[in-house]
Structure 1
């Protein structure tokens, strides 16, 4: 990579690979009206009351200062497991013994609050705008940014349609990606079979099963606001607004970070198996990452193990904001480790708000000193459309 323009041209060629998967994190949905983890945590806290709020606050006080609501669910999941094994059916939390029933009730209350917030959207107040709270009759979630993204992946500059195998991976609970695919007359294969209400069989997401050029696997690593575990019917994908299957505490989101419980059974066992097999590619393959903060060590580990395999030909392109302020910024520790790796660093590109990285090489855009916008979801979409770094 001799220059910034040379690096951009290399990046465009990589984004032209016929076999590719896109990993979308929370930042990809932020512009659409779905909060990031810390505003979501604050919103969940606001929606809780009574014993649920007390236990939520006690759990947060037991965790590091930078913990958010997913960490809270993980910790509560661990406490539930301890309480189930104990003779007293209690677990110790912040100096008190809490009953198994109350721990479960709080866990479900948090899930219910997350589901409501993600379904209908939420924007916290800023210096420029008032707080926006999405409701059933007045949601704030918008799909336009995801529709633009889907359009550019398939019909923009990279135009892969006749020869492509394109799939999607997301840590998000929302349905924006699936909705955008449908709006663009494409089929999202998510492991469910049926119509507005569908049942889980896991077949459609299996990489070994051939799909058509307009069918695209969507691996939702942390579940979804329209997934519901019913005690009689099993795992379902449901539509909103029906009287039956209406208890949002049954929403299936976020497998616990310890990964010892939920990821050992479907749907997450199947989803992570398909994720792992997707990454293990002996053919040229792109994994493009946008809106993801690299905060899930389990996901990072799966990617890193795949890259380290001698026969693997996956290339990483990560669109990511650098940490720090002013001139003193750098990529996150995970990306830094990947870029510096002697075995696979040459297969890692990182496009940030400050520069373009390829392995151990870093180049700045000589035409501007302003932050580059291609690290954002909409900025990346515009780059796909025009090939120009804004």
Structure 2
């Protein structure tokens, strides 16, 4: 962690972030409650509760067929498949056109849930942007995210930080795969790659995806059951290829938070990239205990350059072990640094690794260049809380 803090404080390393649904779910609303956007389970409940009066029979039958994986993403994939293949035939009381309309309604309700704004008082994404803009960089920061919301765009635009999401143009911004592939914009432009689509993406009627500038949610792609033809078209093919190209670059570090690595099409590219490029590394900061992070854990065991940091344990260089508190701190500076990633949970209990949650993760990054005042730990086994920053180096 000390080495990571040094690396992210400078601007020389090629660094990427991989943000999953847990990132948006881990942030609080303006009133202080959680989550800002629910994770998949919460999103499923909210969307299906609204659609129950209209599509209750279809929802019940499809979830029965798909169990145990019957979340909203898998359900929408099945609805779209039925819309394309059954034509005038009926399944569970709907024909192909009926399922197409059903899919539109699901996307509409997803759009309503994820169409939120960041609190004015600050957020984890604002802290990440502070870190991005706080150093002159040799290489651009590349953010890969499976989230559909516009929160990262909002955080960047609030401080007028330039970014490129693959689209260019004014009236109907179109996707430019050449610029995505070449990656030849200035390093101060953050790259923002929306791997599963985004609010505001739509079709222009020519089988092309454009960015509308609106909040519609009709062109989203979901994990697990992605159609081959969807992922081979722009922008999805180009964005996934960008992830692979990023990991193929020498001396690259990809840091993930809020991502379970259960999305097979993304994990496969990470696996391929690390296997073919030993100088690339992934640090996977996981929210749960190691036993509940099966997908990340498996990658960590197979790939020595894929490190997993969970609440109770870690997998480093292919070896798994639980966290242990040393009897003596390695140096006098270690206590303050450790208190930024190692703390007692809110409900009490043993100290645990905290950077699997987006808010401490973002604070760790934004404070990496700061000179901070820390309360001296009472004992080496009880790290103190971090006080507000006193000055900036």
TM score, norm. by length of structure 1: 0.77
Distance across 1 between alignment mates of 2:253 and 2:266? 16
RMSD: 2.8
Relative to 1, partners in 2 of residues 1:196 and 1:331: Cα closer, same or farther, differing over 3 Å? farther
Structure 1 residue 289 and structure 2 residue 269: aligned?
A: no
* Cα pair 2:300 2:316 within 8 Å, conserved: yes
* Cα pair 1:120 1:141 within 8 Å, conserved: no
* Cα pair 1:255 1:268 within 8 Å, conserved: no
Distance across 2 between alignment mates of 1:63 and 1:142? 41
Alignment of 1:191-270 (within 5 A): 191-195=166-170, 198-206=173-181, 208-231=182-205, 234-240=208-214, 248=216, 251-255=218-222, 257-259=224-226, 260-270=228-238
Relative to 1, partners in 2 of residues 1:279 and 1:52: Cα closer, same or farther, differing over 3 Å? farther
Structure 1 residue 330 and structure 2 residue 294: aligned?
A: no
378-387 or 97-106, which moves further after superposition? 378-387
Relative to 1, partners in 2 of residues 1:265 and 1:162: Cα closer, same or farther, differing over 3 Å? closer
Alignment of 1:75-114 (within 5 A): 75-84=78-87, 89-90=88-89, 92=91, 96=92, 98-114=94-110
Structure 1 residue 34 and structure 2 residue 33: aligned?
A: no
User: Which of the residues 125, 137, 146 maps onto 1:162?
Assistant: 137
Structure 1 residue 320 and structure 2 residue 320: aligned?
A: no
* Cα pair 2:161 2:189 within 8 Å, conserved: yes
Structure 1 residue 278 and structure 2 residue 273: aligned?
A: no
Distance across 1 between alignment mates of 2:65 and 2:280? 39
* Cα pair 1:320 1:352 within 8 Å, conserved: yes
- Residue of structure 2 in register with 1:146 after alignment: 125
Shift in Å at residue 365 of structure 1? 5.0
* Cα pair 2:286 2:308 within 8 Å, conserved: yes
SS state of the match for residue 63, structure 2? helix
Q: How many pairs does the alignment contain?
A: 337
SS state of the match for residue 86, structure 2? helix
Structure 1 residue 120 and structure 2 residue 143: aligned?
A: no
- Residue of structure 1 in register with 2:378 after alignment: none
Shift in Å at residue 196 of structure 1? 7.5
Q: Which runs of 5+ in 1 are unaligned?
A: 1-7, 122-138, 242-247, 324-328
* Cα pair 1:73 1:256 within 8 Å, conserved: no
Shift in Å at residue 60 of structure 1? 1.5
- Residue of structure 2 in register with 1:366 after alignment: 325
Q: Which has a greater percent of strand? A: 1
* Cα pair 1:255 1:263 within 8 Å, conserved: no
TM score, norm. by length of structure 2: 0.77
Which digits, 9 at most, give the CA deviation of each residue in 1:350-374, with x for residues without a partner?
Answer: 2222244422153525276223322
- Residue of structure 2 in register with 1:5 after alignment: none
Structure 1 residue 187 and structure 2 residue 153: aligned?
A: no
Shift in Å at residue 289 of structure 1? 0.3
* Cα pair 2:310 2:356 within 8 Å, conserved: yes
Which digits, 9 at most, give the CA deviation of each residue in 1:193-214, with x for residues without a partner?
Answer: 12485233334422x2312122
SS state of the match for residue 260, structure 2? coil
Which digits, 9 at most, give the CA deviation of each residue in 1:129-174, with x for residues without a partner?
Answer: xxxxxxxxxx98986221111112442xxx4x23233111000000
Relative to 1, partners in 2 of residues 1:256 and 1:52: Cα closer, same or farther, differing over 3 Å? farther
Instruction: Name which structure has the greater RCO, CA cutoff 8 Å, separation 6+.
Output: 1
Distance across 2 between alignment mates of 1:196 and 1:163? 32
Shift in Å at residue 179 of structure 1? 1.7
